Structure 1
Amino acid sequence: MVVKALIDHPVADWVSRKVYDRLSSRALSCAVNARNHLIRAQKIADISTTVSYFCATHATEEAVACFVASAKANGYRSWASKMNIRDHAQKVVVASYAQVIADHAEQIDLAIAHNPAADDLLAKVRSGDKEVVYPLGLRLFSFNEDGENPSPAAANDALVSQFPDIRTMVEYVHKRASFRDTALYARDEGAPDLRTSTDQTYALPIRFFACPNAY
């Protein structure tokens, strides 16, 4: 199962260790709960696909809450405070945008690996005709290619440009944001059954946590 491969990956082990070293208070609690629910998703998968999916999606939301709580504690309180981490819909929207970024990283063949010697993470990216290895850090990630304008507005415009138009972007986010309820709750047409679905969207919440191809 994808979740087990993720939990057992050396990069996941590094992240788990750093969580305890660097986070505290609510950020730490949310991170631990996210990992716990991933483990539950893996353990329950053979018994109930639906319950396993619920655990995976809850892990996603807890990861978002961890991200927001960490931002508040590390100099981004004014921005992070605009989001209510108790609001399910807001957390799913954040996870949806994170999925956009993860999809893009996969498309450009970004690779991440653990360096045991230095106990850090490395990222392999393509620069022109060459593949270059850098220490992994958020400074490597931005849709904004305008080095003269590092403003949040420019970064937002660059992200939006990944879609044909605003409507397409909004429809994508709405589909992701509503999918959890569609997958878990019964409708007039009947009860949901993840085992018979061919919609690839079911895999997205798990892929949000997965690293791109390790090397």
Structure 2
Amino acid sequence: MPNVLVLSFEGFSFSARQLYQQLLPKLLSRASLHESTTIQDALNYISTGWPNVILITDSAITRDDPESRRLLDAVVECTKHGCTAITIGFFASTVHWERLDSIIKDHFHLRWQVTAFGDHEVQLYTTDENLVRTSTLARSFQSKALFLGRVPNSQLIYSAASTPGTSMAYAAIGRVGLGKYCYLGDQNFGDEPERLILAMCHLDRPEDAMTEMDD
């Protein structure tokens, strides 16, 4: 059973189910889950190599202080050694754009950059099934999000534009060493991002598949 470490440092408790109403029960039934509410606790879990997935629910990890930088370095190293790091929850609504650009470039070594915030319909793109399976995901939906630019087509999951190459990424996934970094810019916390988070964790199941009524 995969091990999922949730980082919640800024007053939002993921386990309190304030957001993503159906996500927590599914995670608990499909993985071993631990929520860290202090940086030291998170560092203790990461140092043992315990997590297969790290869900980052706020932007505390991006702060420019020694403790936060230490945690960021630990998450990046864990990712390089095979973990999947995913930014969700309040991360996109609270992160400083320039700081996020710097972290993506200098720590995860990806080309992505913040491009815009707004409401857009997003479309699902075909991605490498080894990165994320798409069978349980909505084909399109209306979103409110912090979008990224400069995301190669091979790393797009959802984009606000219909023309590849000029797209704004609502969600993206990139290889980082032996692991993956997944970005989710969502700020609506509905069914569609819940499905996507499960797929990013590789915890999606056939029974999660979209039905005609869902579409």
The TM-score, its normalising length taken from structure 1, stands at: 0.26
The TM-score, its normalising length taken from structure 2, stands at: 0.26
Larger Rg over CA atoms = 1
